[in-house]
């Protein structure tokens, strides 16, 4: 398997783990790998009247995870979330952007509400 295929498989596994992590914490997954013209959202989750657009990053070590998410990547998620809000946002009071960091043999790290409009 080439590097890209390995990375793709690792990413899908991380998204699967993140989805189960969210479910264990009371979230319902309402969308996975949802693409728009502005970008893609890995997971869309809802709990009560809160809707979270979730970026999942999977890396092999803590150092790689520390640099996995940056403002550019978050802006793409925000743009995609704005495009998807009419489809997923009915009855929602709170909308947020979350990040879940996944690495082997560790609990996922869930960073809530990482984006604040300037």
* CATH number of the domain enclosing 53: 3.40.1350.10
Reported as a single tens digit per residue, the pLDDT across 26-72 is 999 999 999 999 989 999 999 999 999 999 999 988 888 888 888 88
Enter the tokens of residue 49. 């009247």
Tell me the whole-structure pTM to 2 decimals.
Answer: 0.92
Q: Flag whether pLDDT at 117 surpasses 80.
A: no
Evaluate whether residue 117 is within a structural domain. no
How many domains does the structure of the chain reveal? Answer: 1
In a domain, 43, yes or no: yes
Strand, helix or coil for residue 23: helix
Q: Is the pLDDT of residue 5 over 80?
A: yes
**Residue at 74 is within a domain:** yes
Q: Which residues constitute the domain of residue 92?
A: 3-111
Residue 6 pLDDT exceeds 90: no
Instruction: Please check whether residue 116 lies inside any domain of the structure.
Output: no
Confidence of residue 116 (pLDDT cuts 50, 70, 90): low
Instruction: Give the whole-angstrom CA distance, residue 46 versus residue 58.
Output: 22
Mean pLDDT of the chain: 92
Cβ–Cβ < 8 Å for 11, 35: no
pLDDT at 86 over 80: yes
Q: Does the residue 42 lie in any domain?
A: yes
Residue 33 belongs to a domain: yes
């Amino acid at each position: 398997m080439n590097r890209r295929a390995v990375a793709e498989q690792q990413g899908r596994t991380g998204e699967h783990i993140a989805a189960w992590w969210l479910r264990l914490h009371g979230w319902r997954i309402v969308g996975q790998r949802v693409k728009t013209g502005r970008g893609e959202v890995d997971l869309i989750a809802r709990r009560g009247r809160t809707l979270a657009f979730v970026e999942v990053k999977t890396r092999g070590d803590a150092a790689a995870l520390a640099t996995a998410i940056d403002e550019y990547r978050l802006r793409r998620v925000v743009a995609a979330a704005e495009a998807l809000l009419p489809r997923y946002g009915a009855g929602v009071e709170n909308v947020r952007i979350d990040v879940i960091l996944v690495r082997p043999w560790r609990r996922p790290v869930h960073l809530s509400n990482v984006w604040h409009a300037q």
